[in-house]
């Protein structure tokens, strides 16, 4: 979709667009790992009680994720759970 403008900015003389680009895109989507994300925004200070606030949220997300992946047909040994926080400075 952006090949011409990117190629022009890079000084390319020609660009290559595969004839079956849409099919390759769909094939890539079919072959990528299944991933579910659960999240919630909490706007508060991160202090000593953060684990008592965040811990139960992570536990609930993990329960929901395992339930979803179980209904997707995955065995417990095939499931990988990652916990992440996105933090920011005040202001």
Per residue in 77-87, pLDDT (tens digit) is 999 999 998 88
pLDDT for 6: 92
How far, in Å, CA of 43 to CA of 4, rounded?
42
Give the integer Cα–Cα distance in Å for 38 and 17.
36
In the block, residue with structure tokens 């099919």:
23
Is pLDDT above 90 for 47? no
Please give the Cα distance from 66 to 1 (Å, whole number). 37
Kindly state the percentage of the chain with pLDDT values over 90: 45
- CA-based angle 26:34:68, to the nearest 5? 135
Q: Please report the pLDDT score of residue 49 as a whole number.
A: 73
What tokens were used for 38?
């659960």
Q: What does pTM read for this prediction? A: 0.62
């Amino acid at each position: 979709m952006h090949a011409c403008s990117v190629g022009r900015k890079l000084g390319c003389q020609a660009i290559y667009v595969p004839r079956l680009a849409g099919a390759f895109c769909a094939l890539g989507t079919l072959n990528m790992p299944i991933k579910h994300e659960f999240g919630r925004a909490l706007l508060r200070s991160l202090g000593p009680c953060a684990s008592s606030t965040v811990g139960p949220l992570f536990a609930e997300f993990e329960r929901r994720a395992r339930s979803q992946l179980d209904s997707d047909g995955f065995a417990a040994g095939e499931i990988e759970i990652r916990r992440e926080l996105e933090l920011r400075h005040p202001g």
